[in-house]
Structure 1
Amino acid sequence: MAKIKRDPKAVALAQEIVDHYNPESVEDMDEALKEIFGPLFESMLQGELNNHLGYSPHSKESKSTTNRRNGYGNKSLITTRGEIDIEVPRDRDATFEPKLIPKRSRDVSAIENKVLAMYARGMSQRDISNTIDDIYGFSISADTISDITDSILPELENWQTRPLEKCYAFMFVDCMYVTIRSDYETKEYAVYTILGYNLKGHKEVLGLWLNESESKHKWMQIFDEIKSRGVEDVFFISMDGVSGLEQGAKSIFPNVVVQRCIVHLIRNSIKYVPSKDYKVFTSSLKKVYGAPTLKACKSAFESFRQQWSQYPGAVDVWVRNFNHVEQLFDYGAAIRKIMYTTNAVEAIHSSFRKVTKKGAFPNENALLKLLYLRVKELDQKWVSGHVPNWSMVMNQLLINDKFTERVNKYLIY
């Protein structure tokens, strides 16, 4: 295993702490860090006051303001390691408004949340360190930032194994690829994501899984896992065309309706169509899957086959998968609008890509930490809402003989 590269300054500081405090246990080290926190915050506050006044203590340069330092006030802070007493610098004009520890504020444990928030937005450890330095005039080492972000690993583990709801009306499954460094080389890893809509119409990311490639065997393991976490029934699963995935899903959830993503089929078929015909070709396809009735769909499909017979590869994609188009018309328009595509989970992956484009990750945990923090941000956006037009979806499920009894079994009013 490669030796971990440490910031020499951080190593020297750690050794100085050990030499000074001689900790003999984790508790002793925690107390030592608690003592260091006070001077740490005081140093950062001094940096803020220097910026506010425009000069440093004992500066020989001419001062552009008549405002001066005016001693200190005492304050007791609430931190992640308990209460800490510090001295807060003051100015004569009382115009100094600290940003790190605002007036009348005592809880500073949120600084860790700020670091986590920056990490969740895809900032590198170096960028976070530079940002803290720019704002507060105090550097945080990459190791410290890593320790802060590592604090969410137990929370991540609990989230990955949490019990799930007994029934989900819709599930959307998809993979994206992210680069991870491993043994001096980089590899593309598949990130498996499942998005669920429960019977209340609320969105939930059921979990995140990593594997070196996408395969039906891994998907089956994942479906088996979510079943063991409490999922008893799934009405619809929308997915792309991984071979054997449909059979794998049905082996775990026998009553599920598996829907091939129509958007993926469009992408697969236009590979065989010259770009000059894309627009007309896709317009013809929309008349097929967007038809108001099954009869109109079949009629539009026959016209489509005749119109584009010069591109047999493109037509064959739809001939082989036409059963997935036909089954859409077993359900009402509100249900069809949700089940026909995996766009909902692809939107999550689009959000992930915004924060993973910075480059290769050093290990799986570094990637999962970032993705989990992103999921938490998405959860905050979803918490007060539900899927649009959900009441109509539920009405169409209740009048369909396949789902009436199942909805009533699991729906909690």
Structure 2
Amino acid sequence: MKTTKTKAKPSANKTKRSRNGTGHVRLRADGRWEGQYYFEGERKSCYGQTEEECQGKLNVVLGKIYRGSYMDGSMMPFYTYMHFWHEKYILVRLATHTNYEIYIEKHIYHSKLGSIPLKKLCLEDFIDFFREKELSGRLDKKPGGLAPKTLRNMRNMMSEALARAVNRLQWLDRNPIEGLKTPKVSPPQIQVYSKSHQTCIEQAALYHEDKNALMVLIDLYTGLRIGELCGLSWLDFGPGKEYFKIRRILERLSKKWAENRSEYQRIFMVGGKEEGATALYLGPPKTESGKRVVYTNDQAVLGFNRIETYQKKMGFYRPDGFLFVNQNGNPYEPRAYNKLYRDVLQRAGVDYRKFHTLRHTFATRAFELAFDIPTLAEILGHAQKTTTENMYGHSLDDTKKSAMARFNRSVG
């Protein structure tokens, strides 16, 4: 008698693994198309808005698996991903690139967070990281942590990078940093020189033997940022120095990010070291509002004329040259000017405050002279008028009180 053998049924507790490079496309409940495939025994997905888009992405992945060039981005360590994202995907101001580089290379790289694969990241990992940075995150080894604004900027950078891993690269299902709270950023305390201190500073700048000290006087009557002042050229002036144009700023930037950006012009310094990682560049202002025409006043013109006379006397005046140059004819870079600025304050008998205090002082004096907010915002180059109002609200209140007092006197 002939017997037939029946195949044994697979055990219910065993899951059959599909081989690498197999996949299919399905429509999800949320309306997106999902391409599912297998790699090293794990099911993975890619997504598209249409079936054709999703199938195309799936075909690319399957082709890479077949050729052996496929990389599972979800297992990339967080530091590696952040470095990859920063190098390849973002286009920001060069100063922001420098900050991102510090966050990634100096903070994330040396942390436990940096070694965790993307797919294994959770909110608790970020909470631990930021708590540590808040308490003891300073790079100079001094006690204390990072400022709330730095923590917020670092969180925003990470969130933007991880959003790409979710939405564009589709290496993650969700953004693991969502819901993270960093310390509240308090509005900066605006420091202003008093009228008596301003008078002393002006006199010290006027009679300083180094005429570049007049930059201090000029800023008290124009309110420019120091990078805008250092980037000024004699070509920027209109007839009779009635006005000048802010078209560019001078700043020290990383060569790595600036060299291939056509809008940045490198300034080669006489006697300077060329092998460093940074160099001086002329580049566009921070915002489009930063490009503006600034009309002058008598005090500012006095400063400009004295500088021009001094340069001609010393023999290094050039019609297309910078306003503020040293004995070698090199332009003053912002951070190097701080030494001369400190000397002016010392001669004036005034305690040191950041150079930006001169800009705040100009804005405060302008409010005292009843400048309206739109006009002052345009002079200062603020992108939003609310920025001017929020920063100098204390001055605006004083102006309102003074105006009301005048109204009462006129009625009486």
Same fold (TM over 0.5): no
Compute the TM-score of the two structures, normalised by the length of structure 2. 0.24
Q: Which has the higher strand share?
A: 1
Q: Which has the higher relative contact order, 1 or 2, with Cα contacts under 8 A spaced 6 or more apart?
A: 1
